[in-house]
């Protein structure tokens, strides 16, 4: 668990980045309609949660900063027995005052009246982009003389790049639940089943282990389905002698995991599957070994493209000089995506990849990113050797950058051919 003092430290750090004579406002997430009068399960806005640890809707966090003082105010919904009967218990104002280390707590309905006082004689307002949130438009109508700064989210997102020890512990817990789930799937007999059978088991294992949910819509793609990168239908029969690409990670106490393993339906790789899988695994291991502070993601991407292109030439999938092939983007026919992404409160953590000057942000201690090389060869691709057609393989792990290198947080999830076949036939 993350202590209230850590959330306060984050807020204090944010205030230091604000200009004097300014106000900053961040809203909780809104409920999302699923159909008619039903809603999706509520999930708090990640930036709001990062600063508060508060999971209720209809909440607002306000920062006020002048040359001589700063103040943090939280607005929450008041206790209401009738509403709580339908929608569950609310923390309420008095309990919020006891729990949160903020200066003031008020009823959310008083925001409009109080905001006029807050913006009086202020020079700047930090908020979310107008086109992202209608609530911001209403707010700005009350503060016409203020110079608008839309970089509040950018400031928070940059803070989120570096993970605290408590955040890393939560991510490790999410990964451990995900590990047990992937291993459970590997052990199960899959012949005669459907992709959806595995999906249902994944969701069951996540929730029964205490995870809030999956961190994203899981992918269970058998055979040629794996060549659709964001395949989410998950409803086709599992066919013998084919591979299953499983991209599934749980979310534990708001923190994500993101793991992909590719396994054989019948528990044993074919010769062609072994060749392609070995190329991708060898590439991933080499890239992970290159991770350390000051390295740039673009450098990892370039090395990945070189390794995979050289490997595809050896396997006869591509022909020619690897440098010329990469220059002409021929490798992207089979490797169209990036080597990885930031991960944290969001599976694709919304932390920046470049600074305000457009320079790439290098890796630093306690950043977490995924490393996920893959190759995707459609069954109808007549340019590829027949033995590789219909194969889609990706291997993905979650990596913590350390002081002088890195730690593969998901190294406990088996991924060598020998390990997978052993576990699948156990």
- Show pLDDT as tens, one digit a residue, over the chain (426 residues): 899 999 999 999 999 999 999 999 999 999 999 999 898 999 999 999 999 999 999 999 999 999 999 999 999 999 988 888 888 899 999 999 999 999 999 999 998 888 878 887 788 888 876 555 667 666 666 666 677 777 888 999 999 999 999 999 999 999 999 999 999 999 988 888 999 999 999 999 999 999 989 999 999 999 999 999 999 999 999 999 999 999 999 999 999 999 999 999 999 999 999 999 999 999 999 999 999 999 999 999 999 999 999 999 999 999 999 999 999 999 999 999 999 999 999 999 989 999 988 999 999 999 999 999 999 999 999 999 999 999 999 999 999 999 999 999 999 999 999 999 999 876
The residue from 117, 121, 230, 404 that is catalytic is: 230
> For the CA atoms of 155, 160, 165, 167, what is the dihedral angle to 10 degrees?
130
Neighbours of 345 (CB within 10 A): 23
Burial 275-304 (b: 16+ CB within 10 A, else e): bbbbbbbebbbebbeebbbebebebbbebb
Per DSSP, the three-state class of 100 is coil
Neighbours of 426 (CB within 10 A): 9
The residue from 43, 114, 183, 348 that is catalytic is: 348
In order of their start, the domains of the chain are 4-159 (3.40.350.10), 165-424 (3.90.230.10)
341 classed as catalytic: yes
349 classed as catalytic: no
335 classed as catalytic: no
299 classed as catalytic: no
- What is the rounded CA–CA span in Å between residue 23 and residue 51? 16
Can you give the pLDDT at residue 224? 98
331 classed as catalytic: no
The residue from 90, 160, 261, 341 that is catalytic is: 341
Can you give the pLDDT at residue 424? 87
State residue 102 phi and psi, 5-degree precision. -115, 165
Do 415 and 392 touch, CB atoms closer than 8 A?
no
The residue from 372, 397, 398, 421 that is catalytic is: 372
Give the distance from CA 147 to its chain's centroid.
Answer: 33
Per DSSP, the three-state class of 352 is coil
> For the CA atoms of 45, 47, 52, 53, what is the dihedral angle to 10 degrees?
60
396 classed as catalytic: yes
Give the distance from CA 378 to its chain's centroid.
Answer: 27
Pairing state between β 255-256 and 33-35 = unpaired
The residue from 45, 251, 258, 349 that is catalytic is: 258
> For the CA atoms of 123, 127, 132, 137, what is the dihedral angle to 10 degrees?
-50
Helix then strand then coil, in percent of the chain rounded to 5, is: 40, 20, 40
Alpha helix ranges (H) inside 88-143: 92-99, 111-119, 134-141
- What is the rounded CA–CA span in Å between residue 290 and residue 312? 21
Can you give the pLDDT at residue 425? 75
376 classed as catalytic: yes
Element (H, E) at 219: strand 219-222
The residue from 376, 388, 397, 398 that is catalytic is: 376
The residue from 394, 397, 398, 421 that is catalytic is: 394
Q: Is 14 exposed, middle or buried (0-12, 13-18, 19+ CB in 10 A)?
A: buried
């Amino acid at each position: 668990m993350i202590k209230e003092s850590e959330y306060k430290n984050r807020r204090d750090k944010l205030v230091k980045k604000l200009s004097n004579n300014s106000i900053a406002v961040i809203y909780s997430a809104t409920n999302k309609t699923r159909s008619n009068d039903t809603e999706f399960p509520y999930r708090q806005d990640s930036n709001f949660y990062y600063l508060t640890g508060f999971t209720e809707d209809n909440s607002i966090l306000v920062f006020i900063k002048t040359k001589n003082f700063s103040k943090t105010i939280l607005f929450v919904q008041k206790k209401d027995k009738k509403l709580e009967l339908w929608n569950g218990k609310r923390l309420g104002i008095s309990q919020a005052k006891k729990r949160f280390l903020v200066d003031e707590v008020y009823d959310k309905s008083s925001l409009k009246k109080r905001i006029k006082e807050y913006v009086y004689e202020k020079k700047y307002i930090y908020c979310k982009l107008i086109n992202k949130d209608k609530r911001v438009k209403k707010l700005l109508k009350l503060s016409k003389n203020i110079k608008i700064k839309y970089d509040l989210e950018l400031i928070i997102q940059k803070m989120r790049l570096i993970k605290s020890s408590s955040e890393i512990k939560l991510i490790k817990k999410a990964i451990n639940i995900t590990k047990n789930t992937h291993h459970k799937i590997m052990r199960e007999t899959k012949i005669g089943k459907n992709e959806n059978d595995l999906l249902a088991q994944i969701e069951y294992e996540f929730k029964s282990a205490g995870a809030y949910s999956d961190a994203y819509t899981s992918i269970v793609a058998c055979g040629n389905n794996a060549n659709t990168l964001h395949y989410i239908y998950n409803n086709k029969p599992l066919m013998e002698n084919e591979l299953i690409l499983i991209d599934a990670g749980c979310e534990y106490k708001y923190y994500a995991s993101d793991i992909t393993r590719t396994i054989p339906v019948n528990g044993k790789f074919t010769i062609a599957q072994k060749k392609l899988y070995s190329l991708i695994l060898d590439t991933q291991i080499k890239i992970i070994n290159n991770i350390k502070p000051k390295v740039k993601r673009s450098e990892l991407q370039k090395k990945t493209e070189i390794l995979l292109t050289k490997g595809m030439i050896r396997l006869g999938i591509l022909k020619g000089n690897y440098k010329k092939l990469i220059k002409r983007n021929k490798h992207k026919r089979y490797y169209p995506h990036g080597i990885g992404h930031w991960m944290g409160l969001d599976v694709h953590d919304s932390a920046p990849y470049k600074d305000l000057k457009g320079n790439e942000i290098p890796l630093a201690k306690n950043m977490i990113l995924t490393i996920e090389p893959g190759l995707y060869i459609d069954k109808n691709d007549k340019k590829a050797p027949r033995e590789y057609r219909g194969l889609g393989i990706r291997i993905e792990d979650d990596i913590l950058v350390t002081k002088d290198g890195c730690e593969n947080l998901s190294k406990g999830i088996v991924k060598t051919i020998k390990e997978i076949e052993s576990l699948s036939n156990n």
